[in-house]
Amino acid sequence: MELVSSEEEDAREEQQCLYEAYNELHSLAQDLHTPFDAPAVLVVGHQTDGKSALVEALMGFQFNHVGGGTKTRRPITLHMKYEPQCHSPNCYLLSDIDPSLYHPKSLPQIQAYIEAENVRLEHESYQFSAKEIIIKVEYKYCPNLTIIDTPGLIAPAPGRKNRALQAQARAVESLVRAKMQHKEFIILCLEDCSDWSNATTRRIVMQIDPELSRTVIVSTKLDTRIPQFARPSDVEVFLSPPACTLDSCILGDSPFFTSVPSGRVGSGSDSLYRSNDEFKQAVCFREIEDVASLEEKLGRPLSKQERSRIGVSKLRFFLEELLQKRYIRSVPLIIPLLEKQYRSATRKLSDINQELSTLDEAKLKEKGRAFHDLFLTKLSLLLKGTVVAPPDKFGETLQDERINGGAFVGADGVQFPPKLIPNAGMRLYGGAQYHRAMAEFRFVVGGIKCPPITREEIVNACGVEDIHDGTNYSRTACVIAVAKARDTFEPFLHQLGSRLLHILKRLLPISVYLLQKDDEYLSGHEVFLRRVASAFNNFAESTAKSCHEKCAEDLVSTTRYVSWSLHNKSRAGLRQFLDSFGGTENSNVGNNPTENVLSQTSPQEKEDTKPQTDVKLSHLASGTDSSTSNQTTETKLADLLDSTLWNRRLAPSSERIVYGLVQQIFHGIREYFLVSTELKFNCFLLMPIVDKLPALIREDLESAFEDDLDSVFDITNLQNSLDQQKRDTEIELKRIKRLKEKFKMIHEKLILHQAT
């Protein structure tokens, strides 16, 4: 008997050791954000489903606020440990400052802390936090379980007035879904319904665990359900739901059914129970009454299988046994993970010590210069083209680029359809994105037509000369053309500068990613890195501004004075237009010599002084032979002077001539604007990044090195930061080493038991 007793005691000690090891592992996983396979029970349910009440019943004592509304705004992790000698709960709250330290707390202090956290989060913008409140509990009624109580899911009403509650619902669901993603967690899915076809909590759980293979379904508030059933068949369906409503592949094969008494423990007049022992007894009595009520409704005794699913005690036993199996099964897998984490922490500590040893002026300057060269290498690589940076993370489609960097929009406010631009749907960065933006600029601006010209604009542009009151239609055309061109093209100059600056400034975060990817980034030297980033951004902005000023100066000069030699490319087309128009005018209004003569004017006639040209145009316009034309030259000249100098009646022919001249001048300005703008942005924005930026940043750094090295590297704060990192890493190493040795010892004992 003594031998058996001793073996049982050893088995219990091993079980407690295993459980404590997993408790430590869970805390370590939370602190280090590492994916250790630390099994736990995650409680998921809607508000008022009875989550917190069920957790308290499983623990054997009350500790939280229970009732309507949001009572849990941070997940609460409870490491419960069965301790027969503890006649009242011993609670320990994990420190938020030192994750290896537990502070002893009384139940009222635990309740006060949880309430204070809820109040604090309620007044913050997010209102919920994924950081767990971790509590270790030792009690004679506690099972050996790790349970995580999550905030209750919210089902808000639709409508604008419920937007605040809808935002809370999204925040809670996002938090709970993130917790359910942990594959090692057993999901305890609470359903407060009497009809299994209503999947309230299951609807969300099955999005993460579609087969419910790691989900235990629990129907809460059984004592309120039983009176709702009128016939035994309804009870049968509820206790054993058909496969069409609840698949039997759920963990545990069928749902559990629980009831928790509604009274609270306390000494006040509103408290129903004077002690946790009374509360525990009430939970047991409630379970007995539920079984009796079900048997009465069914008219038969419950089977052993049915009884094994009814009551908090049955659920607790199932979860404890299930978690114990998961613990034992996971032990061999935990040890390699801890070994890997230990090696990683050791390397981290070595790197910190190495960093501390290089905090002298010469080595810091050397590191700064080396980083300067590496940074510029990455910039050059991005401009020349690379596929090292992932496009899904750093690339932009044309639509993204337009939103973030500005779109090319004309006076009508209409954007060019993206599908007409090559590679519009591709996520580009660096040189490829720069090239696409410039191609879109050429495509959009190159297709712009001269804006409409009204008769009022022509008449207003005629004005009065400073020495006579005659009209000069060539001047009129120039005035209109340059005004239209300036108003049309100036916005595109601003838009192109903004777009290309956006593309170039995006090179900085992508370069940082490449440096981090190649382990060339100076982690910890934030002041120095900010200085390099600031120097790059300032250079890009000042260079873009300078380039814009050069292009703006070109646009001003092109729209300030018309040089006819710039517009000779379309001279033949204009002559053909005027010649054909002259013939038409003659046939339609042959009795109006003034309009006939005016229709013959052209920019060529204004530019060329040869009489042969005048004769030829007159000949083409009137349809007569050369001899007849020579005879009427003087008459035509008089009519021309009368029409252009002394008559301010705007004839259709005059209007068309002005329109033709404006078109010619406008298109000439457009072609020159396109060529000069593209050339200047390439020469004075893109090229300086390649040939001027390296020297500028190096000069800035060397100047800072000479003035005050501490202002560049912030050596004092860096020293303090590295010292703190070293202390934290040393604590982390000790925790991992202790836990690794504990799991190794457990693993060896498990192997020994299997061998015997």
Neighbour tally for 478: CB within 10 Å: 19
- Domain assignment of residue 142, given as a range: 32-332
Assess whether 688 and 739 both reside in one domain.
Answer: no
Q: At what angle do helices 571-588 and 611-622 cross, to 10 degrees?
A: 40
Cα–Cα distance measured from residue 10 to residue 229, given in angstroms and rounded to the nearest whole number: 49
Whether 453 is covered by a domain: the verdict is yes
pTM to 2 decimal places: 0.53
Q: What is the mean pLDDT of residues 300-320?
A: 91
pLDDT of residue 470: 58
- Indicate whether 343 pLDDT > 70: yes
pLDDT of residue 604: 38
How large a percentage of the chain has pLDDT more than 70?
77
Q: At what angle do helices 312-357 and 715-755 cross, to 10 degrees?
A: 140
Q: Which one-letter amino acid corresponds to residue 541?
A: E
Whether 571 is covered by a domain: the verdict is no
The burial class, CB within 10 Å (0-12 / 13-18 / 19+), for 238 is buried
Q: Which one-letter amino acid corresponds to residue 648?
A: R
pLDDT of residue 498: 93
Whether 88 is covered by a domain: the verdict is yes
Cα–Cα distance measured from residue 272 to residue 557, given in angstroms and rounded to the nearest whole number: 92
- Indicate whether 503 pLDDT > 90: yes
pLDDT band of residue 469 (cuts 50, 70, 90) is low
CA pseudo-torsion sign 337, 342, 348, 350: negative
Assess whether 423 and 306 both reside in one domain.
Answer: no
Assess whether 675 and 742 both reside in one domain.
Answer: no
b (16+ CB within 10 A) / e for 392-417: eebbbbbeebbeebbbbebeeeeebe
Cα–Cα distance measured from residue 648 to residue 196, given in angstroms and rounded to the nearest whole number: 91
pLDDT of residue 755: 63
191 three-state secondary structure? strand
- Indicate whether 363 pLDDT > 80: no
Cα–Cα distance measured from residue 297 to residue 223, given in angstroms and rounded to the nearest whole number: 12
Q: Given 280, 309, 332, which residue is the final one in a domain?
A: 332
Assess whether 661 and 738 both reside in one domain.
Answer: no
Cα–Cα distance measured from residue 595 to residue 590, given in angstroms and rounded to the nearest whole number: 9
Whether 152 is covered by a domain: the verdict is yes
C-alpha atoms less than 13 angstroms from C-alpha of 203 in its C-beta half-sphere: 10
- Indicate whether 461 pLDDT > 70: yes
Of 301-310, 682-691, 744-753, give the lowest mean pLDDT range.
Answer: 744-753
Whether 214 is covered by a domain: the verdict is yes
Q: Given 332, 357, 381, which residue is the final one in a domain?
A: 332
- Indicate whether 453 pLDDT > 50: yes
Token pair in block for residue 15: 């079980």
Assess whether 61 and 107 both reside in one domain.
Answer: yes
For the stretch 249-278, pLDDT in tens is 788 788 999 999 888 887 777 788 888 888
Assess whether 695 and 680 both reside in one domain.
Answer: yes
- Indicate whether 750 pLDDT > 60: yes
- Indicate whether 628 pLDDT > 60: no
| Mean of per-residue pLDDT scores for the chain | 79
- Highest mean pLDDT, choosing among 86-90, 310-314, 332-336, 610-614: 310-314
Q: What is the CATH number of the domain that holds 238?
A: 3.40.50.300
pLDDT of residue 381: 85
Distances 135 to 85, 104, 148, 180 between C-alpha atoms, Å: 19, 10, 10, 20
How many residues make up the chain in this entry?
Answer: 756
Place of tokens 């690339």: 395
Whether 385 is covered by a domain: the verdict is yes
- Between 692 and 522, where is the model more confident? 692
pLDDT of residue 515: 83
- Between 214 and 328, where is the model more confident? 214
Cα–Cα distance measured from residue 359 to residue 353, given in angstroms and rounded to the nearest whole number: 10
E strands, 197-280, are 215-219, 256-257
Assess whether 374 and 429 both reside in one domain.
Answer: yes
Phi, psi of 257 (to 5 degrees): -130, 125
Q: Which residues pair with 143 in a beta bridge?
A: none
For the stretch 380-405, pLDDT in tens is 888 888 888 889 889 999 999 998 99
Whether 285 is covered by a domain: the verdict is yes
Q: What is the CATH number of the domain that holds 707?
A: 1.20.120
Whether 345 is covered by a domain: the verdict is no
Q: What is the mean pLDDT of residues 195-211?
A: 88
Assess whether 135 and 213 both reside in one domain.
Answer: yes
Q: Given 332, 357, 384, which residue is the final one in a domain?
A: 332
Q: What is the DSSP string of 362-388?
A: HHHHHHHHHHHHHHHHHHHHHHH--S-
Assess whether 552 and 495 both reside in one domain.
Answer: yes
3-state secondary structure 510-575: HHHHHHHHCCCCCCCCHHHHHHHHHHHHHHHHHHHHHHHHHHHHHHHHHCCCCCHHHHHHHHHHHH
Assess whether 294 and 428 both reside in one domain.
Answer: no
For the stretch 423-432, pLDDT in tens is 888 999 999 9
pLDDT band of residue 674 (cuts 50, 70, 90) is very high
Q: Which one-letter amino acid corresponds to residue 73?
A: R
pLDDT of residue 435: 92
Cα–Cα distance measured from residue 657 to residue 602, given in angstroms and rounded to the nearest whole number: 7
- Between 477 and 752, where is the model more confident? 477
For the stretch 580-595, pLDDT in tens is 444 444 444 444 333 3
Cα–Cα distance measured from residue 682 to residue 547, given in angstroms and rounded to the nearest whole number: 9
In this structure, what DSSP letter does residue 756 have?
Answer: -
Please, what is the Cα angle at 458 between 455 and 459, to 5 degrees?
A: 90
Q: What is the DSSP string of 33-93?
A: T------EEEEE-BTTS-HHHHHHHHHTS--S--SSS---SS-EEEEEEE-TT-SS-EEEE
Token pair in block for residue 346: 């050791």
pLDDT of residue 616: 40
Number of domains making up the chain: 3
Assess whether 205 and 281 both reside in one domain.
Answer: yes
Assess whether 480 and 531 both reside in one domain.
Answer: yes
Cα–Cα distance measured from residue 583 to residue 532, given in angstroms and rounded to the nearest whole number: 70
Neighbour tally for 627: CB within 10 Å: 7
- Indicate whether 636 pLDDT > 60: no
